[in-house]
Structure 1
Amino acid sequence: MSDTTPGTAEPQYGTSLTRTEPFATEHIPVAERHGHPRHQFTLWFAANMVLAVMVSGFFSSLFGLSVLQGLSAVAVGTLLGAIVMGVLAGIGTKMGVPQQVQARGPMGYFANFVPIAVLTVISAIGWTAVNTVFAVIALQMLVDVPFWLAAAVIFVVQAVFAIWGHNLIHLINKIATVVLAILFAVITVLSMQQVDFAVGVNPEAPYYMGEVAGWITFAGFFFAYVMTWTPFASDFSRYLPQTTSHGKVTFFTATGTFVAMMWLGGIGVLVSSFAGELDAIPALAELTGSWAPVAMLTVVVSTLPVSAMNLYGGSLSLLTIRIPVNRIVGVVLIALISLGVTLLMQTNPYGSFYDFLNILAYLVVPFSTVLLLDYYLRMRSLGHLATEELFDTRRSVEWGFVAWVVGCAFSALFWTSTLFTGPLASAFAGFGDVSFVAGALAATIAYVALRPLPPLSSLLRGGRDRVEASA
C-alpha cells in the first residue's frame, strides 16, 4: 500500500489529546486533517520566546552598533527568515508530509539522507542541548540540584511532550504563549530600567568591523537563527486541511516568529551595552534584580516547548533517513544523545558547538533555497503526483542535491567563523558576512541551470543499464 493512501473516512487521531500521535513521516490522510492557520502563530511564538534569542541581541554592542542600527538589523534579519519559514510551512499544508520528507523532491530519496542527517538531526540535538543548558543553570539558581539530575528531569518532560506528539505540542505552545508573554513582559519592564537609548556607534567595540559590515553581520545572526528552523517548518503544519490558504499559513507562521524574536532580540539590543559583558544567566539576573527568581523560572518554562519541538523534528529526521526505529524510539534516541551533549557543554552553551551550529546555518540557506525553487518551479504543478514521488526510491539522487552542494561550496568561500574562515571572506570584509547571500545565489543559479536536464536518477540508471547490457 502506498504511503499516500487516504485511509479511512473516520479519523484515527484527529484532535485527540488522549492518545499518542500514530503518524510519522507518511502522508497525512484527508480524514486526519484539522486545525486553523492561526495555531501556527502560537506554535512559533512560543518556540522563539527563549533566552538564546535575547542573548543574540547582546552582540549588538559587541559589533559597536548604535541602538537604532541594532534594532533595525534584528527586524530585517528576522523578517527575511520568517517569510521563508512561513512559505515553507504553507507548503506542508499542501503536501501533507514533514519538511524533511519534502526535501526528497529536489534532492532525491537517498541523496536527501545527507542534508537531513547533517542539517536536521544534528541541529535538533544541538539546539536542544543549548536551550537545556540555559534552563539547568537557571533552575540551579532557584534550587540546589546537581546539573545532571536537573538536566535529566527536564529531558524527561520534553521527551514526553514530543512522544505524545503533534496535538499536545500545539496545546502546550498555546498555553506557553500566554504564560511566556506575561513572564517576559515582567522581564521587559524590569529591563527597560537598564536601557541607555543614547548608545551610539562604538569603533572601540571588540568585534567592530565598520557600521555597514557590522549591521549586515548582526542581521545575519537573526536571519540564521530563523533559518535553522526552516528544515522543520512543515512538521507542525502538515495536519492542516489541504484547502487551507497558503497565504494565511505564511502570515501566521511568519508573524509568530517575527513578534517573538523582535521582542526578545530587541530587549537584547537595548541592554547590550552592559549585558554583552556578562554570561547569559548572570546578565538576566542583573537585569531583573529582586525579580531574578521569576526570570529564572521563565527560562526553565520557555525551554520545554521549544525543546519538545526539536526532539519531535529530530525523530522525524531519523525516520526520513530510514533509521530502523519508530517515532517514539526516535524521540528517546535524540533525547539521550542531546542529554549527553548537554552534560558535555554544561556552563558553556555558546562555545565551540554553538559555532558549529552557525556553520550548519550556512548550509541550511542553500537547502531551503532549493526546496522553495523546486516547489514553485516543478512540484506545485504536479498535484498529488508530487507527494507520491516523495516515496519513490527509484528517484535516488536528483539535481537539487547537486545545486545544494554547489550552494554550500560557494558559500564556504565567504564563511566567517571561528571554526573556518573562507578564502574570500577578507575580500568582502567591508560588507560583513555575505555567506548567506552567496549560498542562496549559487544554489539558485545551479538549480535553474540544471533543472532542464533529464532527471539525474534516470540518467544514472540508464548509464548502469547500458553497462550491464554490454557485459
Structure 2
Amino acid sequence: MTKAEPFATEQIPDSERHGHPRSQFTLWFAANMVLAVMVSGFFSSLFGLSVIQGLTAVAAGTLLGVLVMGLLAGIGTKLGVPQQVQGRGPMGFYGNFLPITVLTIVSAIGWTAVNTVFAVIALQMLIDVPFFLAAISIFAVQSVFAIWGHNLVHLVNKIATVVLTILFVVISILSLREADFSLGVDTSAPLYMGSFAGWVTFAGFFFAYVMTWTPFASDFSRYLPRNTSHAKVVGYTAGGSFIAMVWLGSIGVVVSSFAGELDAIPALAQLTGSWAPIAMLTVVLSTLPVSAMNLYGGSLSLLTIKVPVSRIAGVIIVAALSLGMTLLMQTNPYGGFYDFLSVLAYLVVPFSVVLLLDYYLRMRKDIAGSVADLFNTGRRINWGFFAWIFGCLVSALFWNTTMFTGPFASLANTFGDLGFLTGAVASAVAYLVLYKKPVPSGMRMADRPGIIELRDNLEKGVSKS
C-alpha cells in the first residue's frame, strides 16, 4: 500500500497472488452505487411501465448482465491477466486493438466524464466553486487512487461500501416520500411501445449498463490465487453488482413519475428536500471509486494496444482526456456523447460473448499455452475478431438510436430492443463456425523463440501451483 502497483498488463506471478473472492463483492458494489443507475430507473415511467413491470425489468436485465460479468471475472483469476489482454486470445494481438480502443479506452474516458460532471454539479450545490477547479480537484483524487492501483482501489471500495450504504439508505428513505406504488401502465407515455416491448427495452438499459463493465471484469480479480473457486468469484462479483444496481434502479423506478421530468441533480435535490446536502455529498463521494476504476482500466487498455507509456503515465493520459470531455459535457452530461456510450454497449455484447466462448472452448484446455499466446505478436489477427465484427453488424440492423437507425428497428415496437440478443447470437454462431478453422498465414506468423520460452516457463509455473 506504500507504493504504486508495480504490475501492468503482464501475467501476475503466483508469488504476488493474494486476497479473497469476497473482495469482489465490495469492489463491484461500490462501483455501481452511483447516480447514473438511479437515473436509469427514471425511464420506467417514460416507457409507460407499471411499478411491477419496471421493478422486474431492472432485476431481469441486471441479473443477466452480472452473470456474464461474474464469469469473466472468474476467468481473470485463472489467467492472471487483465480482461483487455484476454481479448488477444480470440481476436489476435493486433486484431484486439480495435475493440479495446473503442470498448475500453473510449468507454473509460466517457463514463468517467459523465460521472464527474454529476459530481461537480453536486459539489457546486454544496460550495461556491468554479466548474473547472472542482473538476480538477476531483480528477486529482481519482487519479491518485488509480495510480496506486489494485490494493488501494480495493481498500477505497471497501470503505465506500460502508459509507455509501449508509448515505444511500438515507436517500432511499427520503426518496420514497415521492414514490407512487400504484403507478399503472400509461399508454400515453412519450416512449410507450407496448408493455412487452417496453419491458424488454427497459430491461436492456440495465443489461447494457452492466455489460459496459465486462471488458474490465478481470482487472481486479487477476491477483486472486490461481486455485480460487471460480464459482465464488462469480457469486461475489455478480452479488455486489446485482444488489447495488437493483437497489438504486428500483428507487429510480418507484419515483420515476416524479423524477423523470427533471434533470438528474435537481431531481435528487427535490427528492431529498432539506437533506439535499447529504445527497449531494453522496454523489461526489460515489464518483471517486467508480472513476478510479475507469481510469485504471483505461490505462491498462492503452498498454494493451502498445501505447509506449507506463501504467502511471497511462492513468494521467486517460484522466487528462476525460477531464477535457468533462469540460465539454458540463452543461449536458446526458447529451450526444452519452448516446454514443449507449451504442458502445451494443458493441460490447458480441465482444464478451466471443471472450467467454473462446475461454471455455479453447483456452482453458491449455492455460499455460493460451497465456503465452496472449503475448505473441505473431498471432496478428484471429477468427474471433471476425465473429465480433459480424455480431456488431447484425446487431446494428436492429438499432434505433440518434446515431443510427437500422432497417429492422421498427421491430422494437413489437418485441423490444433486439440489438443485444441478435448481436450475441450472431457473434456466437460466427465464432462456433470459425474457431476451429486453420488461421491463414497472412493472419499469423510463426512463434518467436521468446514466446516458446515463455510458454515453457508458464507451463512449469502452472504445474507447481
Tell me the TM-score range normalised by the shorter chain: over 0.9
Aligned partner of 1:20 in structure 2 is 4
Match of 2:226 among 235, 239, 242: 242
Deviations 1:70-122 (A, max 9, x none): 00000000000000000000000000000000000000001100000010000
SS of 1:197's partner is coil
Distance across 2 between alignment mates of 1:456 and 1:18: 49
Matched residue type, 2:7: F
Distance across 2 between alignment mates of 1:40 and 1:127: 21
Deviations 1:36-89 (A, max 9, x none): 000000000000000000000000000000000000000000000000000000
Aligned 8 A contact 2:115 2:291 in 1: yes
Instruction: Work out whether 1:285 is the aligned partner of 2:290.
Output: no
Deviation at 1:459, TM superposition (A): 5.9
Aligned partner of 2:381 in structure 1 is 397
Counterparts of 1:237-276 in structure 2 under 5 Å? Answer: 237-276=221-260
Deviation at 1:455, TM superposition (A): 2.5
Instruction: Work out whether 1:76 is the aligned partner of 2:60.
Output: yes
Aligned 8 A contact 2:117 2:330 in 1: yes
Aligned 8 A contact 2:350 2:391 in 1: yes
Deviation at 1:418, TM superposition (A): 1.3
Match of 2:96 among 112, 128, 140: 112
Match of 1:342 among 326, 337, 346: 326
Aligned partner of 1:121 in structure 2 is 105
Aligned 8 A contact 1:130 1:349 in 2: yes
Deviation at 1:452, TM superposition (A): 2.0
Counting matched residue pairs gives 446
Deviation at 1:416, TM superposition (A): 1.6
Match of 2:190 among 206, 222, 231: 206
Q: Cα RMSD (Å) of the superposition?
A: 0.9
Deviation at 1:461, TM superposition (A): 5.2
Deviation at 1:292, TM superposition (A): 0.2
SS of 1:184's partner is helix
Deviations 1:335-382 (A, max 9, x none): 000000000000211111000001100000000000000000000101
Match of 1:37 among 21, 39, 49: 21
Aligned partner of 1:8 in structure 2 is none
Match of 2:129 among 130, 139, 145: 145
Distance across 1 between alignment mates of 2:351 and 2:444: 23
Structure 1 residues 180 and 456, CA gap change in structure 2 (3 angstroms): farther
Deviation at 1:248, TM superposition (A): 0.2
Structure 1 residues 189 and 362, CA gap change in structure 2 (3 angstroms): same
Aligned 8 A contact 2:197 2:412 in 1: no
Distance across 2 between alignment mates of 1:378 and 1:163: 34
Instruction: Work out whether 1:329 is the aligned partner of 2:317.
Output: no
Aligned partner of 2:453 in structure 1 is none
Distance across 1 between alignment mates of 2:236 and 2:424: 25
Aligned partner of 1:429 in structure 2 is 413
SS of 1:18's partner is coil
Aligned 8 A contact 2:9 2:82 in 1: yes
Distance across 2 between alignment mates of 1:390 and 1:56: 37
Structure 1 residues 197 and 427, CA gap change in structure 2 (3 angstroms): closer
Aligned partner of 1:164 in structure 2 is 148
SS of 2:21's partner is coil
Aligned partner of 1:195 in structure 2 is 179
Aligned partner of 2:77 in structure 1 is 93
Matched residue type, 1:274: F
Aligned 8 A contact 2:214 2:352 in 1: yes
Structure 1 length-normalised TM:
0.94
Match of 2:285 among 301, 306, 317: 301
Distance across 2 between alignment mates of 1:247 and 1:440: 23
Show structure 1 runs of 5+ residues with no match: 1-16, 463-471
SS of 1:222's partner is helix
Aligned partner of 2:339 in structure 1 is 355
Matched residue type, 1:69: Q
Aligned partner of 1:311 in structure 2 is 295
Show structure 2 runs of 5+ residues with no match: 447-465
SS of 1:309's partner is helix
Aligned partner of 2:457 in structure 1 is none
SS of 1:236's partner is coil
Greater CA drift, 422-431 or 222-231: 422-431
Q: Which runs of 4+ in 1 moved over 3 A?
A: 456-462
Aligned 8 A contact 2:380 2:445 in 1: no
SS of 2:400's partner is coil
Deviations 1:189-222 (A, max 9, x none): 1111111110000011011111011000000000
Distance across 2 between alignment mates of 1:74 and 1:366: 22
Aligned partner of 2:435 in structure 1 is 451
Distance across 1 between alignment mates of 2:37 and 2:299: 24
Matched residue type, 2:201: T
Greater CA drift, 450-459 or 386-395: 450-459
Greater CA drift, 448-457 or 54-63: 448-457
Aligned partner of 1:369 in structure 2 is 353
Deviation at 1:427, TM superposition (A): 3.4
SS of 1:171's partner is helix
Deviations 1:385-425 (A, max 9, x none): 11111001111000000000000000000012111111111
SS of 1:367's partner is helix
Aligned 8 A contact 1:43 1:170 in 2: yes
Counterparts of 1:1-20 in structure 2 under 5 Å? Answer: 17-20=1-4
Distance across 2 between alignment mates of 1:105 and 1:452: 13
Instruction: Work out whether 1:60 is the aligned partner of 2:44.
Output: yes
Distance across 2 between alignment mates of 1:65 and 1:196: 12
Distance across 2 between alignment mates of 1:244 and 1:29: 14
